[in-house]
Structure 1
Amino acid sequence: MHYTSKDFDRTTPVLGVEVPSRLVHADVENTAHAAAFSAERKHPVSVVDLPSKTISVTIGGLEPGQTASKHRHTYETILYVLEGEGFTMVEERRVEWKAGDAVYIPAWAWHQHTNRSAVNRCKYVACENAPLMQNLNAALREEAP
């Protein structure tokens, strides 16, 4: 059903449950399409492929001493650091992080992640509202020149 703003009072207050057939994505980091996405992002990234319409989850990493490309997007991100330590530049602000920390990246803020270690890899989980923005036809991502 398609509603417009004039139909606001006609939307039903009764909710139904739609349980998709796929509720688990096994062995996320060893999924075949991770290599292509990682190449595009220029650092290891594994996409959690589940049928969420509003949030996405990825597992990312940076090699020792690696800095990700500077970019921004119209969706919010929360990073949870699993391993390692480093910092993220959010606009002009340096945000230090280590394993166990969570970092917030506001929508459309230029940001760039750096692994401070010369020896150890860092690993994080990124949760974003990208699918929500995609479904609203408002998801944009831009790399710095």
Structure 2
Amino acid sequence: MSLSATHSSGDFAKVPAALDATLPDRLLHADVVGNTHVGDRDFSQERRHQVNVVDLPSKVISMTVGGLEPGQSTRKHRHNYETLIYVLEGEGKSVIGEREVAWKRGDAFYVPVWAWHQHINLSPQHKATYLACENAPHLQNLGVALREEA
């Protein structure tokens, strides 16, 4: 992985005293779940559950909309970025380390750095959908983001 940073430690004295708000060309990703790209389908197949990546120019945080079909679970995995998950619909549990966290619509939960975890839809009839926010882009921009599948 290569870093695209344009500054080094020698630029420390060049830090400006004021910010300039520069608006990127894109501020909207319309119809995130309904307008699935090929990349989302490939990523979902690799992860073995629905994952729709919110494609916006954030350099520090990411957002995805995930879905688990009735009785489906994610693969056990871990990563060195933090995750906050808000449950939009459904109910299930997540195994985080040695702990089980039961969740349902309206709940939010935390997945800490490098903890093995897996998400499980406990309903035999209803889909579970969640919104995940992570600091992965920040670590990717530093060249240190890691993810491991069990």
Whether TM-score is above 0.5 comes out as yes
Check if 1:99 corresponds to 2:102.
no
Deviation at 1:12, TM superposition (A): 1.8
How far did 1:10 drift? 4.4
Q: CA deviation at 1:18?
A: 1.5
Query: Pairwise mapping of residues 18-57 of structure 1 onto structure 2 (< 5 A)?
Result: 18-29=22-33, 30-33=35-38, 34-57=40-63
CA RMSD of aligned residues (A): 1.3
- What is the 5 A alignment of 1:49-128? 49-128=55-134
Give, in angstroms, the shift of residue 51 of structure 1. Answer: 0.5
Say yes or no: does 1:135 pair with 2:141: yes
Deviation per residue, 1:67-126 (Å, 9 max, x gap): 110000011100000000001011001011100000100111100000010110000000
2-structure distance, mates of 1:28, 1:140: 25
Give the alignment partner of residue 2 of structure 1, picking from 7, 15, 23: 7
Q: Gapped runs of 5+ residues in structure 1?
A: none
Determine what percentage of the aligned residue pairs are the same residue.
59
Give 1:36 deviation, angstroms.
1.1
TM-score (ref. length: structure 1): 0.94
CA distance in 2, matches of 1:25, 1:2: 29
Find the aligned partners of 2:122 and 2:15 in 1 and give their Cα distance: 51
Q: Distance in 2 between matches of 1:90 and 1:38?
A: 21
Given residue 89 of structure 1, which amino acid in structure 2 is its aligned partner?
V
